[in-house]
Amino acid sequence: MKVVIGSWLFLAGTLFAGGLKFTETSKEITADPAARSVTAEFDFTNDTQHPVTIEKTDGGCSCVSVKVSDGKTQFSPGESGKIQAVFDIGNFSGEVDKPVKVWLKGEDVDVATQTLKIHINIPVLISMEPKTLKWTVGDKTSSKTIKIAVHDDKPVHLDAVKSSTNAFTTNLKTIKDGEEYELEVTPVSTEKMGTLGIFRIETDCPMDRYKLLQAFAVIQKKS
């Protein structure tokens, strides 16, 4: 599994945060398409003449877990440490930005002492455009299409579509075997607002996160 990491500095040289000197505060990561998570590490040094304690860290969401030097939080003058942020890719794709906030003991609790930034590039192996098809109440029950494309050297075949409801019919078309497909969706009726369809598309992709694709259809109210 390969992860490419790039980084940059906002200022020439190192950066300071309440006594901690960070080598860099931003990282850019390009994840392997098969990766389930990526990790960003931020090295720092206590550049003061007194101990510095990291009071709290926050990854901003449940998809980011943050650790400080294997649980160590207090650093003596001249001592170095590391903040590690692990991002769970889940169903994310494309460009994702995640901030990691750090508070030092004795600093303002309402404002983070330092915000570390992670920019993640998650390659899209299989794209669907659009992911959600929409009809308005009273529309004709005409078909709409989701275009599915494989962006990989190896072919990926779409095997079957399972629908959460009989309020929509589906027709999976092969445009170019292993590369391009279309999912044609037709509502049985457009009279009921809020009618929702979830379509699970099975593939033969060896990567877990692409073995099952999801698309949606909804009947929405008139604007």
Cα separation, 176 vs 18, whole angstroms: 58
* Domain 126-220 classification at class level: mainly beta
Contact present, 197 and 216 (Cβ < 8 Å): yes
Give the residue among 194, 180, 30, 219 at the shortest CA–CA distance from 120: 30
Backbone angles phi, psi at 209, to 5 degrees: -70, -10
For the chain, give every domain's residue range. Answer: 4-122, 126-220
Our measurement of the distance from residue 119's CA atom to the centroid of its chain's CA atoms, rounded to an integer in Å, reads: 10
Encode pLDDT of 198-209 as tens digits.
999 999 999 888
Reported confidence tier of residue 15, pLDDT bands at 50, 70, 90: low
Question: Comparing 4-122 with 126-220, is the CATH topology the same?
Answer: yes
What's the confidence (pLDDT) of residue 208?
Answer: 87
Q: Which CATH superfamily is domain 4-122 in?
A: Immunoglobulins (2.60.40.10)
C-alpha span between 79 and 43 (Å, rounded): 11
Q: How confident is the prediction for the chain on average, in pLDDT?
A: 91
Q: pLDDT for 30-74, tens place per residue? A: 999 888 999 999 999 999 999 999 999 999 999 999 999 988 999
Question: What is the DSSP-derived secondary structure letter of residue 211?
Answer: S
pTM above 0.75, yes or no: no
96: left (phi over 0), alpha (psi -120 to 50) or beta: beta
Residue 12 has pLDDT above 60, yes or no: no
pLDDT of residue 7: 46
